[in-house]
Structure 1
Amino acid sequence: MDPRRRLNPDELRHQALEAARALLIEAGPQAVTLKAVGARIGRTHANLLHHFGSAAGLQKALAAYLARTVCGTIRQAVTDSRAGLGSPREVVDLTFDAFDREGAGALAGWMLLTGNEDALDPIVETIHELVDEISSTQEASHVPGIAAVHEETLHLVLLAMGDAMMGGALAKSLGLPRDTARRRAEAILDASVASVSV
């Protein structure tokens, strides 16, 4: 990218968030600084400060960006699953990957530790919107109830978050296969699908 090329604010934000996401995945949340993101896209710290306000503002924008991206992917997986093109395991894998490989779990943990809890709001709100959207598109005769859908989402997200934070070490110490939490989440979703189709 030519650092001298003038970008409109939306282009700059998008490039900055993509760079922040890459840094998050490569080096962890502590690497997501205005200076590091600026260096990656050929912009100054002051330029990014103008667009995000602070490092905390960048983190909050990154959380919202990850939430939109991840929930969009999960939404498509759920749609495919309903059309017979996917499975509950695919929804589980996408959710777990979002918190693990895509860095959402590390980012959430970092923000909680640094006192930036409100930066998690975009993730929570986007997941809530996704769940409500999924619930409202189901036929009434096939809905186990909005409370059940919310409980399943809570289960899935907490399992994915916990697995991202310490799943590998805990599974190893207990002598369990690495994908045990994913298999448990899949069993929960399979049981839910079975109860709805009865």
Structure 2
Amino acid sequence: MSVKKRLTPEESRAQALAAARELLLEAGPQAVTLKAVSGRVGRTHANLLHHFGSAAGLQKALAGHLAKAVCETIGDAVRAARAGIGSPREVVDLTFDVFDKEGGGALASWMLASGNEDALDPIVETIHQLVDDLNPEETLPGTQPVLHENTLTLVLLALGDALMGERLAGSLGVRREVAREQAEAMLIAGFMKAGVEGVD
């Protein structure tokens, strides 16, 4: 007779968030429910309630989980671009992909539509922290926040592209890649204006 391994609270929470992310990618944000996640991880509904408090709490935790993972990846790409190892296009592609292929855009729109707007706070706060960490000089009074402004535009472009990029590009008769190309040009110009060497 097999005995189910007792997980620590951190392991249980991480397992639930991994399952929630799988559900998000497989079936969309409406599939991320306490019942679906508990069924997938073989835990009780009460167990998930204990960890997240509600379905909205689970979705907010998922948003934070996605934001943290994505910002770590994007941060590495920005540092690589600055070191001449990577490129601004990699930063753009990672950002666009998290909102499109990774389900971030669908999750964000679902939360807004369901009135769970504060669930987006972890995404906003994590991106803000990443930009501050990468550009501490821009947090000083009187400094022009070039890369902060570029980050705002990049994230809004990526979110918009995820939600309606394919349909809008088709309607306008332009390539879907145009938004990424323009985001790349903006990022290169921003890096150069901010004095980041090795980026062109």
Which position in structure 1 is the counterpart of 2:118?
Answer: 118
Cα deviation, residue 26, structure 1: 1.1
Cα deviation, residue 46, structure 1: 1.5
The CA distance in 2 between the partners of 1:70 and 1:3, in whole Å, is: 35
Which position in structure 1 is the counterpart of 2:186?
Answer: 188
Cα deviation, residue 47, structure 1: 1.2
How high is the sequence identity, in percent, across the aligned residues?
A: 66
Query: Contact conserved, 2:154 with 2:183, CA < 8 A, in 1?
Result: yes
SS in 2 for 1:75: helix
Aligned length: 192
Aligned ranges 1:147-158 → 2 under 5 Å: 147-158=145-156
Cα deviation, residue 152, structure 1: 0.4
Q: Does 1:135 align with 2:135?
A: yes
Superimposed CA distance per residue, residues 65-103 of structure 1 (whole angstroms, 9 cap, x where no aligned partner): 011000000000011111111000000000001111111
Which position in structure 1 is the counterpart of 2:63?
Answer: 63
Which position in structure 2 is the counterpart of 1:40?
Answer: 40
Query: Contact conserved, 2:77 with 2:90, CA < 8 A, in 1?
Result: yes
Query: Contact conserved, 1:3 with 1:43, CA < 8 A, in 2?
Result: no
Superimposed CA distance per residue, residues 100-141 of structure 1 (whole angstroms, 9 cap, x where no aligned partner): 111111111000000000010000000000011111279x9x
SS in 2 for 1:63: helix
Q: Does 1:51 align with 2:51?
A: yes
Q: 1:137 to 1:81 in 2, by over 3 A?
A: farther
Cα deviation, residue 146, structure 1: 4.7
The answer for unaligned runs of 5 or more in structure 2 is none
SS in 2 for 1:102: coil
Q: Which amino acid aligns with 1:91?
A: V
Q: Which amino acid aligns with 1:39?
A: G
Q: Which amino acid aligns with 1:115?
A: G
Q: 1:91 to 1:195 in 2, by over 3 A?
A: same
Which position in structure 1 is the counterpart of 2:158?
Answer: 160
Query: Contact conserved, 2:108 with 2:120, CA < 8 A, in 1?
Result: yes
- TM-score, normalised on structure 1? 0.92
Q: Greater CA deviation, 54-63 or 129-138?
A: 129-138
- TM-score, normalised on structure 2? 0.91
Cα deviation, residue 4, structure 1: 2.2
Query: Contact conserved, 1:171 with 1:178, CA < 8 A, in 2?
Result: yes
SS in 2 for 1:86: coil
Cα deviation, residue 196, structure 1: 3.8
The CA distance in 2 between the partners of 1:82 and 1:56, in whole Å, is: 38
Q: 1:16 to 1:137 in 2, by over 3 A?
A: farther
Query: Contact conserved, 1:135 with 1:146, CA < 8 A, in 2?
Result: no
Runs of at least 4 residues of structure 1 off by over 2 A? 193-198
Query: Contact conserved, 1:135 with 1:149, CA < 8 A, in 2?
Result: yes
Q: Which amino acid aligns with 1:51?
A: H
Query: Contact conserved, 2:13 with 2:51, CA < 8 A, in 1?
Result: yes
Query: Contact conserved, 2:64 with 2:123, CA < 8 A, in 1?
Result: yes
RMSD of aligned residue pairs (Cα, Å): 1.8
